[in-house]
Amino acid sequence: MKLNIAKLPGDGIGPEVVAQAVKAVDAVCARFGHEAVYTFAPVGACAIEATGSAYPDSTHQVCLESDAVLFGAVGDPKYDNDPTAKVRPEQGLLAMRKQLGLYANLRPVETFEALAHKSPLKEELVRGADFLCVRELTGGMYFGEKGRRDGGDTAFDTNLYHRFEVERILKLAYEYAMRRRKHLTVVDKANVLESSRLWRQIAQEMAPQYPEVTTDYMYVDNAAMQLIRCPKWFDVLVTENTFGDILTDEASCITGSMGLLASASIGAHTGVFEPIHGSYPQAAGKDIANPLAAILSAAMMFEYAFGLMEEGRAIREAVAASIDSGFVTEDLADGGAAHGTSEVGDWIANRIKKS
């Protein structure tokens, strides 16, 4: 099978971790008889420097013509520290999601037995936790009308949702719940927000279409608490854009490291597969960044973009083996020998080939 992959490393540690994900992809292709063809395109700060746009038209075209996008991260202190900057790296990520119609962000949270002690939570709480966060990605406050008035002293952000946006993300969440443990938690703030009342109304209308799925509803503040109190209770969690952004970052701590969590953004056009840890510019170029989230994003790419489940499993097993063997970067070394980003990538690629 020929796999046409858009490679968008982006900023900070993005190029380093994506390079390790590519090693894993190439190893899988060698083992299973596939061919990966990569097309590079800039996004984020590096794209601004080259073209003036954080997501140039040429990059969008590359994405449209590819089967999947392997993405690193965007962000640069130069722009973080300049509140007057009219173009920011993060605008590239939002534009990519919007223009590709990527309305759903999938973030699996699964703990590794060997790393349960790394979680800030008690081991007995996190051991065995395995759930999927489904976040609506193209609506809500991030994309609603915003601005200032009264000479700049009053600011507003509009949390706008249409029925079709809510229906399609709930449908997707129900479908994933059917494939897992048949438990869906709809997170909203229906006691205060009208947009949340629309979410809950539509979820209640749709629930009878999935009688095998247990549907429950939870206010977002309670959900934030329950993710810490009893993360093993959740199976599939679905929510709107802003709530999802916050809850998924909170959930990332359950595993003990943000460097372990992959994500997929899917929708109308080409899916984007990326680690959630951001650009981490302080580590860029030092060969210390944890590449496992990017490598696990490649596993999700095989599974969600190409339907190649065995290939994705081969990557996951190699990652688990690297953790069990202690062949990890400094953030996971736990007092043992720490290995460089590229060393870990090489180890996992070799493991995939030899398995």
Which residues are annotated as catalytic?
A: 142, 189, 221, 245, 249
**Residue 263 near residue 275 (C-beta atoms within 8 A):** yes
Q: Is 295 left (phi over 0), alpha (psi -120 to 50) or beta?
A: alpha
**Residue 321 near residue 295 (C-beta atoms within 8 A):** no
Q: What whole-number distance in Å separates Cα of residue 87 and Cα of residue 93?
A: 12
Amino acid at 238: V
Strand partners, 149: 154
Phi, psi of 190 (to 5 degrees): -65, -15
**Residue 245 near residue 159 (C-beta atoms within 8 A):** no
DSSP state of 259: G
**Residue 107 near residue 130 (C-beta atoms within 8 A):** no
Q: What whole-number distance in Å separates Cα of residue 211 and Cα of residue 305?
A: 28
Strand partners, 188: 219
Q: What whole-number distance in Å separates Cα of residue 247 and Cα of residue 222?
A: 11
Q: What whole-number distance in Å separates Cα of residue 217 and Cα of residue 185?
A: 6
In this structure, what token pair is assigned to residue 107? Answer: 């973030």
